[in-house]
């Protein structure tokens, strides 16, 4: 036997003595699963493998008990646990073990009640965790339903078995029972190998060039994968719990036969076609074309492993970038190729794969994927024994190891689609809708294989609604408002207000509305003198929030010209900015000289009021009418309930200010202050504070506090969950909104923060007509994701740049950027617009932009056109640096890519368009020295930092360096926490370390445990506390017992 001076599992409490066990190396799969179980030790029951068999006939219970122990003696795995020895998980094998077979007698119950008792006992067994380092990890219960009918419930932890092993277990059990009944002995011979032999063989197989080739394959296959944004009903950090539910659908015989024929035509298998349907379903409910799922494989590559019980199963990661505009057969070909590539490299241990991919780990997600797909090869069959039969019993209870797990099972001449789901995350109705959509996708793919994958299932379309107005009460239609008449313009709205009804304050001026009118009227006269008037003229001005900017807008409105943001004049127009040194305080420059013009009267509601260079489908710009702008101001004021007694503070974040933010307070509020947070006043209790997401993040991070009682308004294309949390923690009422497409002024969504944490858009503002459409332009129905469109002034559907999911009640939930847009940090970037700018630079033949896996950086890939030197690495670096410099001059700062790479050619999709999903991982970024070099701030951090450096083998580690970002993985984390335990005498739970895996975070957890230890009462204090909680009678009984 082997033992260790130090042994004990993470989270297992005090050290245990393993001297009674054989201590052997654990398999990679065992090490990985053991670590997962440490994240929440009681939830290791989710990995209990529970099954049952019905024994019908004359059962000899004593012989069955003996048969069980014969099988336990035959298979070393059934006498094995897993524990931490010298910092690493090891197998702990008992030389021998006996397993009891308790009997529960239900023979007095009706057959129905006895069957229900079997299911209840099975659920209880499934929910009961094992002590993983206390083998055997096997429990049995025998239920006596009737004199000739028994059911045996078998529970084995997944650490020591898999699905194949259960077939081996029951086969050996039947052989042992038969031998004992007929010959008086089990008759087992010696197995050629045991599981520990397999582990040693596996280590030899997974070494050298073979492993290097597998690592290279999987790194390329899984580069840039992102988690699926599944339609959870509860937040992940609150819902995940391991309690599972199950829903089912059935495919009939003709459908199954047709799918088999489709598999032959596509050159694949039925497994691949069914997986294509499931991946299509996931793509439609998430809006993501890059789909990643897992699937179990037997993993029994050793020639003597077929008749062995043990944890051989491996998990393969299947990734497919589905062509959403292509047909189902095209998608089936993509999935077929992904499967062939994965299955030809199926010896890669999953835990090693996780280490190599180095995906950012999240405590509330599984590594690499959250959805499983499986299709068992053969159903369990009935076995005949002397005097009785043994047949499998279907159990209704299930545990949730993943978000979703779809199992396809034979069912007569058809198939059963069985979806297990995590009840902590999903309602039953949501899970049922997903499996129903899978059935509909397959049926419609058979009916018309040419239909784009992004439009499946067609069967959902008849119930779809074109707009939210058609969705009924469930869509939470906007209440009626008293907006301005259709003929009202912004000058008309302002004309209704008195000279002293509103005050504008900014760094350049403090003006009443009357003074602002005089200022803008003077500028309007100067514009007329320069010949700048009428809708054919454009007035361009710098987008700096100020009183001068508002004066330019009002002056342009007065002369009927069209204002726009910019830094130079248009050929048919003028550039205007405040310049104290100029006569009259304004600098006005034009292209050609224009003749002075007379006052042409105020513009009408149909006249253009604003021009946006980002508007229009071709990027050429578009205009907004005066009537639409006035309606937008009224709609926003109504949704926020802004009154003439309210004060509005607009925080300047450096981005061009929204037209509504500038003008709505002039028309509806008491005051508007344009300010940076540093000089923002405390403000009255009824104040509104307006800012875009990047500005809110900056000011809140810097510690700025909004005025007491203020209502906070954040309108942006990207509303990150952590930013929403920051806004919520201010304690104020929070309004969240999504802007419309340029030049539309009114947001497409603006509502108070709801319990869904900004996922739901809320009812549309007055006058906004929204619709959710698929790739064909058809409306989508419940549970599916589509592109959000809004009706423009002409009634045409215009894309907003946002993908949404229609919930069961008809409401819309934002899920990600729309086609052609990228979310980078707190901003949305129009990818095509950036690519046009980059492709126009000298030497660039083509360009594609994307984001890194975390969505924090914009990545640009350039293809040289042959006119510049780009053959060597140095030449490519010079070329990329030159384009980077040009981009900084031509693009707004947030649109300049953080990283530039050079390719010989761009990967293209089926239609010839750039396939951004196939772009390589971004070039390596230099280490973040500022993070790496932050020194320890106290003694605990200094000691923890030394442990980090020792375990990771690094000389430079900062206190804020992320463990997993530095190359750490689950097994190194276990070793690190083992060193912490030896150093500090404290056991830090794995879950606490995962929450903040940095030296500073771990040091903080250690200090908290030390404080808790210091607060722990002495034995005398504990006894006094116990006595204080007892009654006089209980104390009297205790004293009598002691005497």
Q: Ranked by mean pLDDT, which of 742-756, 820-834, 951-965 comes out on top?
A: 820-834
Other C-beta atoms closer than 10 Å to the C-beta of 930 total: 9
CB 840 within 8 A of CB 860: no
Q: Above 80 in pLDDT, residue 783?
A: yes
Distance CA 749, CA 639 (A): 10
Give Cβ neighbours of residue 238 (< 8 Å, ≥ 6 apart): none
Distance CA 38, CA 7 (A): 15
Are residues 727 and 621 both part of a single domain? yes
Give Cβ neighbours of residue 735 (< 8 Å, ≥ 6 apart): 639, 640, 711, 712, 713, 714, 750, 751, 752, 753
pLDDT in tens, 479-490: 334 445 555 889
Find the mean pLDDT for residues 495-514: 91
461 confidence band (pLDDT: 50, 70, 90): very low
What's the Rg (C-alpha) of the chain? 34
CATH number of the domain that 628 lies in?
3.40.50.12780
Nearest to 361 by CA among 721, 841, 32, 771: 32
759 confidence band (pLDDT: 50, 70, 90): confident
pLDDT in tens, 269-317: 999 999 999 999 999 999 999 999 999 999 899 989 999 999 999 999 9
Would you state the pLDDT for residue 930? 42
793 confidence band (pLDDT: 50, 70, 90): confident
Are residues 731 and 702 both part of a single domain? yes
Distance CA 175, CA 183 (A): 11
649 confidence band (pLDDT: 50, 70, 90): very high
Would you state the pLDDT for residue 685? 57
Mark which of 899, 918, 937 sits at the end of a domain. Answer: 918
CB 270 within 8 A of CB 260: yes
pLDDT in tens, 895-934: 899 889 899 988 876 666 777 777 877 765 443 444 556 7
Are residues 959 and 831 both part of a single domain? no
pLDDT in tens, 685-718: 558 999 999 888 888 888 888 888 899 999 888 8
Q: How many domains does the chain have?
A: 5
pLDDT in tens, 979-1025: 888 888 888 887 778 777 888 888 888 888 888 777 655 555 555 55
User: Is residue 782 included in any domain, yes or no?
Assistant: no
Backbone angles phi, psi at 858, to 5 degrees: -90, 130
Would you state the pLDDT for residue 486? 52
Find the mean pLDDT for residues 838-853: 89
Q: Which residues pair with 802 in a beta bridge?
A: 817
Are residues 63 and 88 both part of a single domain? yes
Helix and strand counts by DSSP (H, E) for the chain: 28, 38
Are residues 437 and 306 both part of a single domain? yes
Would you state the pLDDT for residue 431? 95
User: Is residue 507 included in any domain, yes or no?
Assistant: yes
Would you state the pLDDT for residue 459? 52
Find the mean pLDDT for residues 148-162: 95
Are residues 707 and 825 both part of a single domain? no
820 confidence band (pLDDT: 50, 70, 90): confident
User: Is residue 213 included in any domain, yes or no?
Assistant: no
User: Is residue 106 included in any domain, yes or no?
Assistant: yes
Are residues 303 and 433 both part of a single domain? yes
Lowest mean pLDDT among 107-111, 543-547, 784-788, 951-955: 951-955
CB 564 within 8 A of CB 611: yes
Mark which of 726, 747, 762 sits at the end of a domain. Answer: 762
Would you state the pLDDT for residue 217? 92
Mark which of 888, 918, 948 sits at the end of a domain. Answer: 918
The overall average pLDDT reported for the chain is 84
Q: What percent of the chain has pLDDT over 70?
A: 87
Would you state the pLDDT for residue 12? 40
CB 977 within 8 A of CB 947: no
User: Is residue 853 included in any domain, yes or no?
Assistant: yes
Are residues 318 and 443 both part of a single domain? yes
Nearest to 490 by CA among 745, 783, 235: 745
Distance CA 259, CA 429 (A): 27
C-alpha pair distances (Å), 400 with each of 127, 230, 422: 11, 15, 5
Find the mean pLDDT for residues 129-135: 92
Distance CA 810, CA 815 (A): 15
Q: What percent of the chain has pLDDT over 90?
A: 44
User: Is residue 774 included in any domain, yes or no?
Assistant: no
Would you state the pLDDT for residue 1? 39
CATH number of the domain that 863 lies in?
3.30.300.30
Q: Above 90 in pLDDT, residue 103?
A: yes
Are residues 506 and 374 both part of a single domain? no
Q: For strand 371-374 and strand 383-385, is the pairing parallel, antiparallel, or unpaired?
A: unpaired
Other C-beta atoms closer than 10 Å to the C-beta of 684 total: 15
CB 81 within 8 A of CB 138: no
Are residues 733 and 844 both part of a single domain? no
User: Is residue 438 included in any domain, yes or no?
Assistant: yes
CATH number of the domain that 958 lies in?
1.10.1200.10
Are residues 450 and 508 both part of a single domain? no
Other C-beta atoms closer than 10 Å to the C-beta of 1020 total: 8
User: Is residue 364 included in any domain, yes or no?
Assistant: yes
Could you give the angle at the alpha carbon of 133 between the alpha carbons of 130 and 137, nearest 5°?
45
Q: Ranked by mean pLDDT, which of 335-349, 723-737, 757-771 comes out on top?
A: 335-349
**Residue 991 belongs to domain spanning:** 929-1015
Would you state the pLDDT for residue 825? 84
Peptide bond into 136 cis (omega under 30): yes
Are residues 422 and 546 both part of a single domain? no
Q: For strand 88-93 and strand 80-85, is the pairing parallel, antiparallel, or unpaired?
A: antiparallel
Q: How many Cα atoms are found within 13 Å in the side-chain-facing hemisphere of 398? A: 20
Confidence (pTM): 0.81
DSSP-derived 3-state class of residue 410:
strand
Q: Above 90 in pLDDT, residue 406?
A: yes
Q: Above 80 in pLDDT, residue 1032?
A: no
- Give, for 638, the enclosing helix (H) or strand (E): helix 626-640
Q: Above 50 in pLDDT, residue 521?
A: yes
pLDDT in tens, 596-619: 887 777 788 889 998 887 655 454
Find the mean pLDDT for residues 723-732: 86
Other C-beta atoms closer than 10 Å to the C-beta of 1029 total: 7
Find the mean pLDDT for residues 169-183: 93
pLDDT in tens, 490-504: 998 999 999 999 999
Would you state the pLDDT for residue 911? 64
Q: Above 60 in pLDDT, residue 202?
A: yes
pLDDT in tens, 109-120: 999 999 999 999
Find the mean pLDDT for residues 860-888: 88
């Amino acid at each position: 036997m082997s033992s260790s001076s130090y042994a004990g599992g993470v989270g297992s409490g005090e050290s245990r003595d393993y001297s009674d066990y054989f201590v052997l190396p654990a398999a990679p799969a065992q090490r990985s699963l053991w670590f997962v179980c440490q994240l929440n030790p009681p939830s290791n029951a989710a990995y209990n493998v529970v099954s049952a068999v019905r024994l019908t006939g004359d059962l000899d219970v004593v012989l069955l008990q003996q048969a069980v122990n014969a099988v336990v003696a035959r298979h070393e795995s059934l006498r094995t646990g897993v524990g931490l020895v010298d910092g690493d998980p090891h197998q702990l094998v008992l030389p021998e073990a006996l397993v009891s077979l308790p009997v529960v007698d239900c023979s007095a119950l009706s057959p129905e009640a006895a069957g229900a008792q079997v299911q209840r006992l099975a659920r209880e067994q499934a929910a009961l965790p094992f002590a993983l380092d206390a083998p055997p990890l096997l429990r049995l219960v025998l239920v006596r339903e009737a004199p000739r009918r028994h059911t045996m419930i078998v529970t084995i932890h997944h650490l020591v078995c898999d699905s194949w092993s259960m077939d081996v277990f029951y086969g050996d059990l039947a052989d042992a029972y038969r031998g004992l009944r007929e010959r008086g002995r089990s008759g087992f011979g010696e197995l050629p190998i045991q599981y520990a032999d397999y582990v040693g063989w596996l280590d030899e197989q997974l070494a050298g060039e073979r492993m290097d080739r597998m690592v290279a394959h999987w790194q390329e296959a899984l580069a840039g994968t992102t988690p699926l944004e599944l339609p959870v009903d509860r937040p992940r950090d609150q819902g995940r719990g391991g309690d599972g539910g199950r829903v089912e659908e059935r495919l009939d015989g003709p459908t199954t036969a047709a799918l088999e024929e489709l598999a032959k035509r596509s050159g694949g298998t039925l497994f691949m076609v069914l997986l294509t349907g499931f991946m299509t379903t996931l793509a439609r409910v998430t809006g993501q074309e890059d789909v990643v799922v897992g699937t179990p494989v037997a993993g029994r590559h050793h020639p003597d492993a077929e008749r062995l019980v043990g944890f051989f199963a491996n998990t393969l990661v299947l990734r497919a970038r589905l062509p959403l505009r292509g047909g189902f057969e095209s998608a089936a070909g993509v999935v077929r190729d992904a499967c062939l590539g994965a299955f030809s490299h199926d010896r890669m241990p999953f835990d090693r794969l996780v280490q190599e991919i180095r995906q950012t780990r999240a405590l509330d997600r599984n590594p690499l994927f959250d959805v499983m797909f499986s299709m068992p090869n053969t159903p369990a069959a009935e076995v005949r024994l002397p005097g009785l039969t043994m047949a499998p019993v279907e159990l209704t209870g299930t545990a949730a190891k993943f978000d979703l797990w779809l199992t396809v099972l034979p069912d007569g001449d058809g198939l059963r689609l069985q979806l297990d789901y995590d009840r902590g995350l999903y309602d039953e109705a949501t899970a049922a809708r997903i499996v129903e959509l899978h059935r509909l996708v397959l049926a419609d793919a058979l009916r018309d294989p040419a239909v784009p994958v992004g439009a499946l299932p067609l069967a959902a379309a008849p119930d779809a609604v074109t707009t939210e107005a058609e969705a009924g009460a469930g869509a939470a239609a906007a209440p009626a408002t008293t907006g301005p008449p259709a003929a009202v313009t912004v000058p008309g709205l302002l004309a209704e207000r008195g000279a002293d009804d509103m005050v504008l304050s900014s760094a350049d001026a403090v003006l009443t509305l009357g003074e602002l009118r005089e200022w803008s009227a003077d500028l309007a006269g100067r514009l007329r003198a320069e010949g700048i008037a009428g809708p054919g003229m454009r007035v361009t001005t710098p987008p700096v929030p100020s009183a001068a900017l508002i004066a330019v807008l009002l002056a342009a409105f007065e002369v009927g010209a069209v204002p726009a943001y910019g830094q130079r004049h248009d050929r048919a127009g003028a550039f205007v900015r405040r310049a104290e040194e100029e006569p009259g305080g304004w600098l006005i420059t034009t292209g050609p000289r224009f003749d002075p013009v007379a006052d042409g009267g105020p513009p009408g509601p149909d006249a253009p009021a604003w021009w946006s260079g980002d508007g229009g489908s071709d990027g050429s710009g578009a205009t907004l009418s005066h009537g639409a702008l006035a309606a937008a101001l009224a709609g926003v004021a109504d949704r926020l309930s802004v009154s003439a007694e309210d004060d509005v503070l607009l925080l300047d974040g450096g981005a061009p200010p929204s037209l509504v933010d500038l003008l709505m307070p002039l028309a509806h509020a008491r005051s508007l202050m344009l300010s940076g947070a540093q000089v923002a006043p405390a403000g009255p209790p009824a104040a509104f504070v307006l800012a875009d997401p990047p500005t809110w993040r900056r000011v809140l991070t810097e510690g700025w506090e909004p005025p007491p009682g203020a209502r906070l308004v954040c309108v942006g294309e990207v509303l990150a969950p952590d930013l929403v949390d920051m806004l919520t923690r201010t304690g104020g009422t929070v309004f969240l909104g999504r802007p419309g497409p340029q030049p539309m002024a009114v947001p497409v969504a603006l509502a108070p923060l709801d319990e869904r944490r900004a996922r739901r858009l809320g009812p549309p503002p007055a006058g906004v007509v929204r619709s959710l459409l698929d790739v064909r332009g058809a409306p989508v129905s419940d549970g599916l994701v589509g592109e959000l469109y809004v009706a423009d002034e002409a009634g045409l559907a215009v894309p907003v740049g946002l993908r949404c999911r229609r919930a069961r009640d008809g409401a819309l939930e934002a899920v990600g950027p729309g086609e052609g847009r990228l979310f980078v940090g707190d901003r949305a970037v129009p990818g095509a617009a950036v690519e046009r700018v980059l492709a126009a630079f000298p030497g660039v033949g083509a360009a594609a932009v994307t984001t890194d896996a975390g969505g924090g950086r914009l990545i640009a890939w350039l293809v040289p056109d042959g006119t510049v030197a780009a053959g060597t690495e140095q030449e490519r670096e010079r070329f990329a640096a030159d384009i980077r410099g040009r981009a900084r001059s031509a693009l707004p700062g947030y649109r300049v890519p953080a990283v530039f790479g050079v390719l010989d050619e761009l990967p293209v999709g089926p239609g010839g368009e750039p396939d951004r999903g196939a772009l390589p991982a971004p070039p390596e970024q230099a280490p973040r020295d500022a993070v790496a070099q932050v020194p320890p701030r106290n003694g605990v951090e200094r000691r923890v930092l030394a442990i980090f450096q020792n375990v990771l083998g690094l000389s430079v580690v900062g206190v804020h360096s992320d463990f997993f970002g530095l190359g750490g993985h689950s097994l190194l984390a276990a070793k690190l926490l083992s060193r912490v335990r030896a150093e500090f005498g404290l056991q830090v739970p794995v879950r606490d370390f995962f929450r903040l895996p940095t030296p500073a975070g771990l040091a903080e957890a250690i200090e908290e445990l030390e404080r808790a230890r210091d607060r722990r009462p002495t034995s005398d204090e504990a006894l006094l506390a116990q006595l204080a909680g007892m009654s006089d009678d209980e104390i009297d009984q205790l004293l009598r017992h002691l005497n």
